[in-house]
């Protein structure tokens, strides 16, 4: 009878401990899922006031930016296609109004200006793109036991994003000359499974950062060196030209010049256009027709 009592007591103890561990893991997982969900909502909220735009820029001279393909006016290299985050912002420096579409500032009534959004590390204030952030590979991450001098320290868990006190059971990982401490078994598994999600380092200051926490702000004073595009001008045909045979640069066919015809002047040369529709086509992309 006494043996049975001892057996059931031990069994009950195991069940209670097991339930407690399971509850803790579920709690950790739940917290983590909630934080992840909130982070996604924040990101979605930011996107509403911004948009991605395609530009062409020189890899050697990043200040050269334009909306169409071409060559760098400085080094003659072919411009590379790049996606940048943009917004329409109030020109006033102290105003934070940003919109995804053009319009007027609801505060001061000034016309919103199109400008690039750049990211800055909140810890060092330096400009940094998300693609520049340092992230470890799976093979770089190995769990280790904590040292005696680390026990009792107040540290930050990169998975749960909260502070805790290091105990003998705490595990840590070392990366980029820094130690990262994990508060529980769940976090240990998570860091091994996806270290790039939890260890993210700013290349400027070397501190742990979250991509969601990168401060984004529009560069209102940014003046890119965009080569000025020469646009065609138009003139009416002269009396002497009426009735003559000419070739329409858009339609690429001969026609008799009438009073309705136009002559486009582009890069020092003249081109005949047979109708108003051809005028519009030529204005949009003259290079397409003169090649």
Q: End of a domain among 73, 106, 132?
A: 132
Query: How crowded is residue 270: how many other Cβ atoms within 10 Å of its Cβ?
Result: 11
Q: Which of 132, 150, 181 is the last residue of a domain?
A: 132
Range from 11-25, 121-135, 220-234 that averages highest in pLDDT: 121-135
pLDDT value, residue 47? 41
Q: Does the residue 158 lie in any domain?
A: yes
Contact 57, 65 (CB under 8 A): yes
Count of alpha carbons within 13 Å of 182, Cβ hemisphere only? 24
Q: What's the confidence (pLDDT) of residue 6?
A: 57
What local confidence, expressed as pLDDT, does residue 225 receive? 43
Q: State the pLDDT at residue 10.
A: 59
Structure confidence by residue, pLDDT tens digits, 230-240: 788 899 999 89
d(CA 25, CA 237): 83
Residue with the bigger pLDDT between 33 and 187: it is: 187
Nearest to 159 by CA among 151, 147, 150, 171: 171
Q: Helices 185-193 and 2-47: crossing angle, nearest 10°?
A: 50
Question: Do the strands 51-57 and 80-89 form a parallel or antiparallel pair, or are they unpaired?
Answer: antiparallel
b/e sequence 178-210, b meaning 16+ C-beta within 10 Å: eebbbbbebbbebbeeebeebbbbbebeeebbe
Q: Give yes or no: residues 99 and 152 share one domain.
A: no
In the numeric block, the tokens 């529009």 are attached to: 218
Residue 270 within a domain:
yes
Residue 110 lies in a domain: yes
Give yes or no for residue 44 having a pLDDT over 70.
no
Confidence label for 43 from pLDDT (cuts 50, 70 and 90) = very low
Place of tokens 């006033």: 92
Task: Count how many domains the chain has.
Answer: 3
Claim to verify: residue 174 and residue 239 sit in the same structural domain: no
Please, are residues 73 and 64 in contact by the beta-carbon 8 Å criterion? yes
Tell whether 145 and 165 lie within a shared domain. yes
Last residue of a domain, one of 199, 218, 249: 199
> Is 167 found in the same domain as 98?
no
Question: CA 211, 215, 220, 222 torsion: positive or negative?
Answer: negative
Lowest-confidence region among 12-16, 104-108, 141-145, 241-245:
12-16
Q: For position 128, what pLDDT does the model report? A: 86
The torsion region of residue 176 among left (phi > 0), alpha (psi -120 to 50) and beta comes to left
- Confidence at 98, pLDDT banded by 50, 70, 90: confident
Cβ–Cβ < 8 Å for 69, 77:
no
- What is the tens place of the pLDDT at every residue in 48-81? 578 888 888 888 888 788 888 888 888 888 999 9
Q: Is residue 1 part of a domain?
A: no
For residue 285, being part of any structural domain is answered with yes
Is there a contact between 113 and 96 (Cβ–Cβ < 8 Å)? Answer: no
Is 114 found in the same domain as 53?
A: yes
Residue 104 has pLDDT above 80, yes or no: yes
User: 287 pLDDT exceeds 90?
Assistant: no
Helix H or strand E encompassing 36: helix 2-47
Domain that residue 98 falls in: 48-132
**What is the CA angle 132-134-139, rounded to 5?**
140
- Do 66 and 123 lie in a common domain? yes
Considering the domain boundaries, does residue 227 fall inside one? no
* pLDDT over 90 percentage in the chain: 31
Q: What is the mean pLDDT of residues 272-288?
A: 86
What's the whole-model pTM score?
A: 0.49
**Is 128 found in the same domain as 111?**
yes
Q: How far, in Å, CA of 222 to CA of 113, rounded?
A: 11
The mean pLDDT value for 161-173 works out to 94
**Are the C-beta atoms of residues 73 and 123 closer than 8 Å to each other?**
no
Local confidence band at 14 (pLDDT 50, 70, 90 cut-offs): low
Q: What are phi and psi of 254, to 5 degrees?
A: -80, 150
What does the block give as tokens for 38? 């909130």
Task: Please name the residues in contact with 170: beta carbons below 8 A apart, sequence gap of 6 or more.
Answer: 146, 150, 151, 181, 182, 183
Claim to verify: residue 72 and residue 118 sit in the same structural domain: yes
For 94-126, the DSSP string reads T---EESS--B-TTT-PBPEEEEEEEE-TTT--
């Amino acid at each position: 009878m006494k043996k049975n009592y001892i057996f059931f007591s031990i069994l009950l103890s195991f069940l209670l401990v097991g339930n407690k561990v399971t509850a803790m893991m579920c709690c950790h997982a739940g917290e983590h899922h909630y934080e992840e969900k909130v982070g996604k909502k924040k990101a979605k909220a930011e996107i509403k006031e911004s948009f991605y735009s395609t530009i062409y820029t020189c890899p050697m001279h990043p200040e050269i930016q334009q909306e169409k393909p071409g060559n760098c006016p400085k080094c003659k290299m072919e411009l590379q296609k790049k996606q940048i985050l943009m917004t329409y912002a109030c020109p006033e420096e102290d105003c934070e109004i940003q919109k995804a579409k053009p319009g007027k500032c609801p505060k001061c009534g000034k016309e919103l200006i199109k400008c690039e959004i750049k990211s800055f590390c909140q810890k060092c204030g330096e400009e940094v793109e998300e693609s520049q952030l340092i992230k470890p590979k799976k093979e770089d991450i190995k769990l280790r036991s904590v040292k005696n001098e680390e026990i009792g320290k107040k540290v930050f868990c990169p998975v749960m994003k909260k502070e805790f006190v290091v105990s003998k059971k705490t595990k840590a990982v070392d990366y980029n000359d820094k130690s990262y401490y994990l508060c529980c078994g769940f976090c240990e598994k998570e860091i091994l499974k996806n270290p790039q999600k939890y260890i993210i380092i700013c290349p400027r200051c070397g501190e742990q950062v979250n991509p969601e926490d990168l401060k984004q702000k529009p560069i209102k004073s940014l003046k890119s060196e965009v080569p000025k595009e020469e646009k065609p001008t138009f003139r009416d045909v002269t009396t002497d030209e009426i009735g003559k045979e000419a070739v329409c640069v858009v339609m690429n066919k001969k026609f008799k010049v009438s009073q309705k015809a136009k002559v486009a002047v582009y890069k020092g040369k003249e081109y005949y256009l047979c109708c108003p529709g051809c005028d519009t086509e030529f204005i949009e992309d003259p290079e397409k027709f003169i090649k």
